[in-house]
Amino acid sequence: MLHVIEETIMDSIKMLPFLYIAYLILEYLEKKSNIKEILKNSGKFGTIIGATLGAVPQCGFSVTASSLYAGRVITLGTLISVFLATSDEAIPILLTTPNMLGEVLKIIIVKIIYGFIAGFVIDFIISKKNHKYLTKKNLHEHITAMCEHVHSKDKKHSIWLHALKHTLNVFVYILIVAFVLNSIIHLIGSENLSKVLMQGSVLQVFIAGIIGLIPNCASSVVLTNLFVAGNISFASIIAGLCTNAGIGLVVLFKENKDIKENLKIVGLLYFLGVLIGVILQIISNLI
């Protein structure tokens, strides 16, 4: 067990500088971005813009999207596009593993395209008449208030310090998750772990989807570590990361008072995440 602890600590420490650089870049981009202008000019391109912005690591935009949907500033399709494209902490962690760079690109492309298509279909099927969106005048005021709230802290904090805090926070999750997984593998063996996770079975996609629904960055860390270790398939991590909206779902339940609607959105998110996972798993088995 001492060997497991030593291996866990050393492997996790190696990731620290890469994580910090990744979060520093993200902090800079987030501070310089103007969500208000992007949303004001999105128009009919809300789903593609939502999917693209949702692909940016961390769950900041999914949180913003949840608040904006609660105020009916964006459509359900745009909200789902953001959620499906969001990967929380997965991308920065995968970027610390050199042999995963190709997989990172594939994950981002698949999630953006799928997020856009799913969001577009949802908005096409569901008539806008069923949603009480704001008037143009109130829309401008609502967006301004939302974006000022989102970025009010960003203007004050140091991106160097905030990136460091974020790095250390995620590092703790990585350390804990890595230790638990390494301990399980040490105790039961990698082959038995693969059986528990139903490796090679399409049912693994459903398990990954459930893990992804956990509204915490720990879920994306778990999925990423399992994928890097080869314990879950590409189809499964796509399914898990598509259902993973970070704390965006928590904000949705807080801001949107229609609980039944929120539950339907969670169900829709899980269905869509599992659907793309099953499709990819079937394609993988046929190739």
CA distance linking residue 117 with residue 21, whole number of Å: 32
Q: Which of 15, 173, 21 is nearest to 93 (CA)?
A: 15
pTM (2 d.p.): 0.75
Which residue segment(s) compose the domain that 116 sits in? 2-286
Alpha carbons within 13 angstroms on the beta-carbon side of residue 42 total 23
CA distance linking residue 139 with residue 285, whole number of Å: 48
Contact 122, 77 (CB under 8 A): yes
- 227-269 residue pLDDT tens: 988 889 999 999 999 999 877 888 888 888 899 999 999 999 9
Domains contained in the chain, number: 1
CA distance linking residue 241 with residue 87, whole number of Å: 5
Beta bridge partners of 58: 88
Residues 6+ apart with CB under 8 A from 111: 51, 54, 55, 84, 85, 87, 238, 241, 242
Determine the pLDDT at residue 149.
46
Determine the pLDDT at residue 133.
47
Which range among 122-131, 213-222, 249-258 shows the weakest confidence by mean pLDDT?
122-131
Cβ–Cβ contacts within 10 Å for residue 13, how many?
A: 11
